[in-house]
Structure formats: C-alpha cells, structure tokens
Amino acid sequence: MTDFALNSAQTQRPLDGITVVSLEHAIAAPFCTRQLADLGARVIKVERPKIGDFARGYDQRVDGMASHFVWTNRSKESLTLDVKSEGAEEVLERLLDQADVLVQNLAPGAAARLGLSFEALHSRFPRLIVCDISGYGEDGPYRNKKAYDLLIQSEAGFLSTTGLPGEEGMAKAGCSIADISAGMYAYTNILAAIMLRERTGVGSQIDVSMLESLVEWMNYPMYYAYQGAEPPPRAGAAHATIYPYGPFPASDGQSVMLGLQNEREWKAFCDLVLECPELAKDPRFAGNANRVGNREALRTLICETFSTLSSEQVIERLEKANIANAHVNDMQDVWGHRQLKARQRWVKVDSPVGSIPALLPPGRSNAYTPKMSGVPGLGQHSESLLAELGFNAERISVFKTSGVI
C-alpha cells in the first residue's frame, strides 16, 4: 500500500473547477458527492455544529471513526453551519454564488423550508444544478414518508428475492444497496446535468428517489414475474433460475462458488469436474430448466464429489474445465485480496486520526488519477472557508461564539 502522492503532479481531472455544496447525511448523498470529489470536484460538506453528519456516530471501527463515514466522505471539506440560525442564510448565499451543484438529502420538505429548493434558487443562481435525493421522490402519496435503506429494500421488492424460502427466510443485503443505488444515479444525473449546462448555460433540477433507483435494479425479477407469473424463488446464495450456480462445500470446510451458463459448460463440468461423463446424458439434467427442477438431486451428486476434494482442488478442476468460479471470501480475505494488491488498488489517505487505507474508485483512466484527499474532521475547514467567502476574523469569531458554526 502506498501513499497517494501523485495528485499534485497530475493533469486536469474531469471535474476540476467544479464546486459542490452538499447538505448531506448518512449514505446516499455522501456517496454521490464522494464520486464527484474523486473526479476532482471541490465538495463542501455542510454539517450541524457539534454533531455533524449523524453517520459519524454509527460506529468506531476505523481507529475511532465510523466505517460508513470514512467510506463516503474522503476528499471533502467540512463546514459546520446551523442552517436555521441568524447569519446562516448569508453564508449559504455566498457559498451558492460560487457553486455549480447543490446536493441535499435532508428530511422531506426541509430544503424547501430553508429556501433551498430549485424554484427558490434558480432566479438568483441560474447556472446552479440542484440535486434532491429522497426516499420516494418530491411528489406522490409517499413523498413525506420516512425512508431508510432496509425499508426501501422492502418496498422495492428486494427482500422478496433474497434469503431462503418462507416468511422467516427473507434477508436484507449486507450493505446499503438502496442508498448506494440512489447515490450512483444522483452522481450520473449530475454529470449529465453538467454536460447539458455546457450546451445550454442553464442549471437544472434532479429529483432522485431511493425507491425508483432500487426498483430499476429489480427489473429482471419483475420481468420474470411479468403479468402475474411466478416470481423467482428465494434461493439463498444460489441463483434462483440457473443451476448449478451458487456455493458448494468442499472437504476442508470451505465453500466454492461456481456457475454454469450453457450446455457446453455442463458437459465440461460432468467430464472434468465431477469426472462422471455419463451424467451429461442424464435426462433429469438435460437443459437448465430440468437442472433447476431437479436441483436437490443434482446438488447431492455434486456434494458427494466435492466431499473428497479441498476447496483449492475443486477450483483447480473448475479452472481446467473453464467453469466460472470464486472463493467465498470474508472481509479479511478481501482486505488481503491478491488481485487488488496486484493492481495496486489500495492507497493511504489522511484522516483526523492519521493515515488510513482507501480503495481507489473503480475505473482506471490513463488520463488522470482520482483525487484521494483526507477524511475531514467535523468543522475542519469552517474558518478557512468563511475567510475565503469574505467574512473577516471578527465576524467568524461571532459565528463561533453564537453557535452559527
């Protein structure tokens, strides 16, 4: 792992010169703006004085800092500001006068009450792009409904497709996929809005909902259940509609993940992995539909063979047969993943508690390197930002003593 010292010598990044102001908390908006920061944007994160983004307090797993916060907030500047206090409006006005993008995922209606809706801002800041991220969108019967990641996973039908059969078998995703999907769609919509502004000279409003973002990801199972058809069954870590495709235990207690996609691979699997060529001709397993219908019988046969092999021996056979496979890794395995190491994907960034590892963002460009600056402490940049906005030392001191910052 190396310190990311290349930034100062790099050529221009795609979003150099773009300033983003974000009234954000939790995951969706911070994840969106971190992607913008990766591409060179200056992201000014507005946080509540003394408390900050409540994700700062989720846990203390990263040398005392919260894992979610560390992940989604590097390369940003932290400005503490009580947005409801006297004087805050002037600070926000000066901030937005220099901003290209405003991102917010406050409670439903909160931004509008603060005068930060697109309608309220557009006449004064016609080039400003305003991105609103919410659970259900700015209109419709659910617009004021509270939305957390697990609740959206439920509303979007995701929980109906994950876990094991039966009411008690449903399982949520192990990470915040509803927040992540909304954050990524906000990110791509903002990039599109910046490109559009280059042609029109005018900013636009973006309304991203977590529900719509995750339902987009659910389109395959929705189409599978088209016009009242039976939906995909819950199949644990296995594929619901392709078999064999999932985890299988080996003799050493480890599991191996494998997946077959076609009849050529099925024959190779029988010949070279199971070493049972006659199985390829068994009518119970002729074609994927039959293998799915007889998955328990087939699983028994596969597990019998694998019970005599270690996980590495199973993978060796799968590789020989050119069958897709993977280790079933835990988090410590991923930290030490040799492919990530070989591609030098881990670097070090600063934080309030010292240097910590960070994963380079996906997508390696030969034109630039991503910005990989530190994780900000709460209010770390408040005074320097206010001075940059033209507030003198006396005014900044008043802001501090009165609790504005």
Residue range 254-287, pLDDT digits in tens: 999 999 999 999 999 999 999 999 999 999 999 9
Q: Are strands 324-327 and 255-259 parallel, antiparallel or unpaired?
A: antiparallel
The CATH architecture annotation of domain 245-334 reads 2-Layer Sandwich (3.30)
pLDDT, residue 167, reads 74
Are the C-beta atoms of 136 and 211 separated by less than 8 Å? yes
pLDDT at 178 over 70: yes
pLDDT band at residue 130, thresholds of 50, 70 and 90? very high
**Alpha carbons 234 and 171: distance in angstroms, whole number:** 10
**21-35, pLDDT tens digit by residue?**
999 999 999 999 999
pLDDT at 7 over 80: no
Give the list of residues 6+ apart from residue 290 with CB closer than 8 angstroms, or none.
Answer: 283, 284
Per-residue pLDDT tens digits for 219-243: 999 999 999 999 988 988 999 899 9
Question: Which pLDDT score, from 0 to 100, does residue 94 have?
Answer: 97
Query: What is the structure's pLDDT at 4?
Result: 47
Q: Which of 16-20, 161-165, 275-279 has the lowest mean pLDDT?
A: 161-165
DSSP H or E segment with residue 108: none
For the chain, give the percent of residues with pLDDT over 70.
Answer: 98
Taking 70 as the threshold, does the pLDDT of residue 368 lie above it?
A: yes
Local structure of 78: helix, strand or coil: strand
Q: What rounded mean pLDDT belongs to the chain? A: 95
Give the mean pLDDT of 292-302. 96
Q: Would you say residue 2 has pLDDT above 60? A: no
Tell me how far CA of residue 54 lies from CA of 25, 49, 116, in angstroms: 6, 11, 21
* Cα 74 from Cα 377, distance rounded (Å): 10
Q: How confident is the model at residue 5 (pLDDT cuts 50, 70, 90)?
A: very low
| Mean pLDDT of all residues in 178-191 | 98
Specify the pLDDT at position 1. 65
Pairing between β-strand 245-249 and β-strand 255-259 as defined by DSSP bridges: antiparallel
The whole-model pTM stands at 0.91
SS (H, E, C) 351-394: CCCCCEEEECCCCCCCCCCCCCCCCCCCCCCHHHHHHHCCCCHH
Q: Given a cut of 60, is residue 297 above it in pLDDT?
A: yes
pLDDT score of 168: 82
Give the per-residue pLDDT at 11: 79
Q: What superfamily in CATH does domain 2-217+347-401 come from? A: Crotonobetainyl-coa:carnitine coa-transferase; domain 1 (3.40.50.10540)
* Residue extent(s) of CATH 3.40.50.10540 domains in the chain: 2-217+347-401
